[in-house]
């Protein structure tokens, strides 16, 4: 089978390798049909991921069809359309013991720490597979993973109806957050420097959008105090900025893997009793997102801007690097 290897940063190479074998009883062979290119894949490609190792087959947003199943598999059958959970955890460490395997001490993320979905076949335990909604195309189904990341942040922030939630950044992550937050009864404010992205946020149903390109965030909010601020922009100053404008007793959620230092006065956090909350990957959220799609509450369609054949994956990464604003979500199709 064919796989795309990131040999070292900026060096992608197609290789022909043996088909993976279904070895264990609960193991499943999945034929990949679509895999998304996420911002974090672009970081691995560029060599700016703080967690990835090389050489690596990237791809953590992957959907496909069950091809073969091990003797003990009961949850899926050949022909089932599935999404593969990106997380493999040890089950024994402290985070795992308290039900937070997404931050397992021995965490292995497919496409990051171990090989992922930019190949024709992958094996996974049946517990890592979720059946796709029938009406959803493989390409759109890739968006279940980014949506699960958004669900994680909303759950980490413990958003309730009385909250005013600010999403900083209306890019790809921001849009998934918007969709997740519109399911809650909280008041939603979206801030961005680009009018185009705010226009897209309005089209999703956001009524309160603020453009911070000229005035800065505090002024753009006009005295409104978010009780929850979610950083979907992730630049060195964003944490202090959000701590500044978030209401006393509020929560600030970080989602970026930025390694640059963020300068913030502890006084700000202490005096306001802010909770600074990290949100990483997702913990059991695939099921929630799928329930939402099946129940007609969530629509993950309309976000994929480009479908590129897997064999042309190198072009896809080059296209993303050109930063054309028409390039939003790129999905490799197999
Ligand atoms: Mn992703």
Q: How far is the CA of 211 from the centre of ligand 1 (A)?
A: 26
pLDDT (0 to 100) of residue 123: 97
The three-class DSSP label of residue 220 is helix
Cα gap 227→163, rounded to integer Å: 6
Q: How far is the CA of 152 from the centre of ligand 1 (A)?
A: 13
Closest among 169, 175, 155 to 277, alpha carbons compared: 155
Cα gap 324→316, rounded to integer Å: 12
Q: How far is the CA of 306 from the centre of ligand 1 (A)?
A: 16
From residue 245, alpha-carbon distances to 35, 129, 132, 137 in Å are 37, 41, 40, 41
Span 265-285, mean pLDDT? 97
* pLDDT tens by residue, 56-68: 999 999 999 999 9
Q: How far is the CA of 60 from the centre of ligand 1 (A)?
A: 6
Q: How far is the CA of 287 from the centre of ligand 1 (A)?
A: 16
* pLDDT tens by residue, 88-144: 999 999 999 999 999 999 999 999 999 999 999 999 999 999 999 999 999 999 999
Please list the residues that pair with 93 across neighbouring strands.
none
Q: How far is the CA of 181 from the centre of ligand 1 (A)?
A: 18
pLDDT (0 to 100) of residue 326: 85
Q: How far is the CA of 223 from the centre of ligand 1 (A)?
A: 34
Cα gap 312→223, rounded to integer Å: 49
Q: How far is the CA of 71 from the centre of ligand 1 (A)?
A: 31
| Contact by Cβ (8 Å): 172, 65 | no
Q: Which residue has the higher pLDDT, 214 or 31?
A: 31
pTM for this entry: 0.95
| Contact by Cβ (8 Å): 61, 332 | no
The three-class DSSP label of residue 84 is strand
Q: Near ion ligand 1, which residues have CB within 5 Å? A: 38, 61
Q: How far is the CA of 271 from the centre of ligand 1 (A)?
A: 35
Q: How far is the CA of 146 from the centre of ligand 1 (A)?
A: 5
Q: How far is the CA of 203 from the centre of ligand 1 (A)?
A: 23
For residue 324, pLDDT beyond 90: no
For residue 78, pLDDT beyond 90: yes
| Pair type for strands 187-192 and 275-278 | unpaired
Place of tokens 């335990």: 125
Q: How far is the CA of 173 from the centre of ligand 1 (A)?
A: 9
Residues 6+ apart with CB under 8 A from 305: 326, 327, 328, 329, 330
From residue 190, alpha-carbon distances to 149, 166, 202, 229, 307 in Å are 18, 6, 9, 10, 28
Q: How far is the CA of 221 from the centre of ligand 1 (A)?
A: 30
| Longest CA pairwise span in the chain (Å) | 62
* pLDDT tens by residue, 206-265: 999 999 999 999 999 999 999 999 999 999 999 999 999 999 999 999 999 998 999 999
Q: How far is the CA of 263 from the centre of ligand 1 (A)?
A: 27
| Contact by Cβ (8 Å): 235, 257 | no
pLDDT (0 to 100) of residue 3: 98
Q: How far is the CA of 148 from the centre of ligand 1 (A)?
A: 9
- Residue 323's pLDDT band, with cuts at 50, 70 and 90, is confident
pLDDT (0 to 100) of residue 50: 92
Integer Rg of the chain from CA: 20
* pLDDT tens by residue, 145-191: 999 999 999 999 999 999 999 999 999 899 999 999 999 999 999 99
Q: How far is the CA of 89 from the centre of ligand 1 (A)?
A: 18
Q: How far is the CA of 38 from the centre of ligand 1 (A)?
A: 5
| Contact by Cβ (8 Å): 106, 93 | yes
For residue 192, pLDDT beyond 90: yes
């Amino acid at each position: 089978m064919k796989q795309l290897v990131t040999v070292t940063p900026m060096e992608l190479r197609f290789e022909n390798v043996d088909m993976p074998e279904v070895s264990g009883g609960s193991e499943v062979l999945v034929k990949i049909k679509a895999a998304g290119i996420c911002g974090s894949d672009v970081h691995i490609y560029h060599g700016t991921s703080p967690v990835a190792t090389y050489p690596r087959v990237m791809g953590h947003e992957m959907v496909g069809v069950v091809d073969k199943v091990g003797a003990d598999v009961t949850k899926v059958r050949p022909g089932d359309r599935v999404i593969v959970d990106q997380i493999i955890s040890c089950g024994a460490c402290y985070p795992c013991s308290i039900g937070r395997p997404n931050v397992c001490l021995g965490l292995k993320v497919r496409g990051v720490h171990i090989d992922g979905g930019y190949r024709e076949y992958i094996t996974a335990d049946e517990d890592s597979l979720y059946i796709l909604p029938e009406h959803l195309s493989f390409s759109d189904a890739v968006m279940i993973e980014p949506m699960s990341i958004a669900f994680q942040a909303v759950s980490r922030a413990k958003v309730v109806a009385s909250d005013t939630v600010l999403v900083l950044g209306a890019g790809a992550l921001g849009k998934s957050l918007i969709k997740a937050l519109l399911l809650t009864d909280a008041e939603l404010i979206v801030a961005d420097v680009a009018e185009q992205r705010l226009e897209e946020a309005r089209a999703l149903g956001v009524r309160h959008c603020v453009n911070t390109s000229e005035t800065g965030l505090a002024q753009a909010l006009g005295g409104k105090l978010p009780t929850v601020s979610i950083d979907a922009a992730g630049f060195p100053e964003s944490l202090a900025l959000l701590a500044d404008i978030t209401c006393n007793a509020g929560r600030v959620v970080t989602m970026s893997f930025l390694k640059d230092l963020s300068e913030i006065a502890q006084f700000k956090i202490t005096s306001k009793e802010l909770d600074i909350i990290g949100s990483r990957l997702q913990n059991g959220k695939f099921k929630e997102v799928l329930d939402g799609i099946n129940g007609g509450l969530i629509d993950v369609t309309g976000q994929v801007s480009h479908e590129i054949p897997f064999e042309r994956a190198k072009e896809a990464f080059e296209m993303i690097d050109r930063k054309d604003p028409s390039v939003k979500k790129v999905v490799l199709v197999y």
